[in-house]
Amino acid sequence: MQPAKMHRYRLGGEEFQLPVRMPEAENFEVEEDEMGMAEKATPFVSTGREAYFPKTDSLVCLLNGWVAFAWRDVQVWSKKFGFLVRVEGGRDFYIRSDGDEIRWVGDTQSGIGLSETERQILLGPVIVLALALRGVLSLHASAAIFRGKLVLFLGESGQGKSTLAAYLSGQPGWRLAADDILPVTEGVDGLTAWPHFPQLKLPKEAQPGPGLPEQIAVHAVVMLTEADSDGDPNLKILPASQAVQAYLGHTAGTRLFGPKQLADHLAFCANAAGQTPTYRLIYPHRRETLPQVRELLESLC
């Protein structure tokens, strides 16, 4: 039997290769003549179950999370050479401790491939954890670009991240960069966003990443807070301590992290807060206030 054709994807600035096609990531598939643009590619391979159960293990987390459009039980186990991610309704995924290899239970050679739920698990918690192990953190954020400058929006569910970014993308000079998840890295010049990443809540034709550069410097981060209905929009710089809390509270997948990843995450948040301007935007959730919000945000750029 011939080996399965490998499909190569570049997500969040990192390359991954899979023996099955991922429709949700089709926009980010790497053509053969583009291979090698990233430093390395993480192989996804399917082997026997014995690869998943070394003798030494400990439970990292046990939680109920929103994965693949449903609330599901999620477990992460620390294994001898990596982590086992187990999500209700899907196969187990094993991630090597350096993030450079991902395995799952089941035979991809048979053509069965992954179910829709398993694809969502792979592109959700599994990829988020694999990226974190490779130094790329994923923020629960929307983002929009104004005249080449990217503004990233953080906020609790229901605070209007997606609504604001979608509104801005329809205004002159603005463009959507992310709807829900945005991978970022931190360096001496501040945060860098990697918008070539599937936004699972958006259809293929609405994906913002394919038309954008692979990496974009983050110009400003804005934490959204709802105001009283009769209040006016207000934008204020956040003190460093509050900025750190904003990053800590809005990083995807942190409940999956082990002690080392949590320590790295804390250092990342402290550095990002000191390097990238972070603001609090207080505004009432009324459509008539959005033009005022747009003016405030454009003043940042």
At position 203, the amino acid (one-letter code) is P
* pLDDT for 32: 62
Chain position carrying tokens 């899907």: 90
What residues does each domain of the chain span? 7-134, 138-300
What's the CA gap between 146 and 127, in Å, rounded? 29
What's the CA gap between 282 and 285, in Å, rounded? 10
Secondary structure (H, E, C), 12-32: CCEEEEECCCCHHHHHHECCH
* pLDDT for 143: 97
Q: Beta-strand (E) ranges in 109-180?
A: 137-140, 142-146, 149-154, 174-178
* pLDDT for 48: 45
* pLDDT for 16: 87
* pLDDT for 8: 87
- How many C-beta atoms surround the C-beta of residue 29 within 10 A? 14
Reading the chain (301 residues) residue by residue, the pLDDT tens digits are: 445 577 889 999 999 887 778 888 999 998 765 544 444 566 655 544 444 444 558 999 999 999 999 999 999 999 888 999 999 999 999 998 988 888 887 655 444 578 899 999 999 999 999 999 999 999 999 999 999 999 999 988 778 899 999 999 999 999 999 999 999 999 888 999 999 999 999 998 999 999 999 999 999 999 999 877 677 889 999 999 999 999 999 999 999 998 999 999 999 999 999 999 999 999 887 888 899 999 999 999 8
The CA–CA distances, whole Å, from 231 to 153, 159, 226 equal 20, 15, 10
What's the CA gap between 198 and 192, in Å, rounded? 17
CATH code of the region 138-300: 3.90.228.20
Q: Hey, CA dihedral for 131, 133, 135, 139, is it positive or negative?
A: positive
Q: Nearest 10 degrees: CA dihedral of 252, 256, 262, 264?
A: -70
* pLDDT for 42: 61
The CA–CA distances, whole Å, from 164 to 142, 180, 200, 222, 230 equal 8, 12, 18, 11, 19
Judge contact between 180 and 140, C-beta under 8 A.
yes
What's the CA gap between 134 and 261, in Å, rounded? 10
* pLDDT for 111: 47
